[in-house]
Amino acid sequence: MSETVHHQKQRGLGHVFAAASYSLGGARRLWGETAFRHELLVYAILNIAYLAIGASFFIFFAGLILFLVLVAMEALNTAVEEIVDRISPEFSVVARHAKDLGSFAVFCLLLANGALFFYALYLAFLAPLPV
């Protein structure tokens, strides 16, 4: 069993810098996930497509919000997977369920991002023109 190391709790500006450091560490860890890099690539492609079809500011803003929620969910899913792998290296039905649920949460957000894209296409090509 590893030793537990207690850190001195930061206060004030030190707390802000410590939190930023932890967040950057999480971002570096997430960059190691192939799925995250694929999601980032698709987000860039979607933005190019939105530019090409003349999407509104609302579409770009909604896309950004959905992407940030997707990134947060991907981070949580990765955290769940790492914790499950650490505490249950052998096969476990409960561990499998935890991983499947995290994956499903990410999938739901991928569907939401896809739905926004198809809505933008609808607005660009199929919506009735204002009279």
Q: Which fold has domain 33-126?
A: Helix Hairpins (1.10.287)
Q: Which residues are catalytic?
A: 74
* Binding-site residue set for a divalent metal cation: 33, 81
| Residue 126 to residue 131: CA distance in whole angstroms | 15
For tokens 């509104």, name the residue.
Answer: 56
70: left (phi > 0), else alpha (psi -120 to 50), else beta? Answer: alpha
Q: Coil, strand, or helix at residue 19?
A: helix
Annotation: binding site for substrate: 35-39, 74, 103
Structural domain boundaries in the chain? 33-126
Per-residue pLDDT of the chain (131 residues; tens, 9 = 90+): 556 666 678 888 888 988 899 999 999 999 999 999 999 999 999 999 999 999 999 999 999 999 999 999 999 999 999 999 999 888 899 999 999 999 999 999 999 999 999 999 999 999 887 76
Sequence-distant (6+) residues with CB within 8 A of 69 are 109
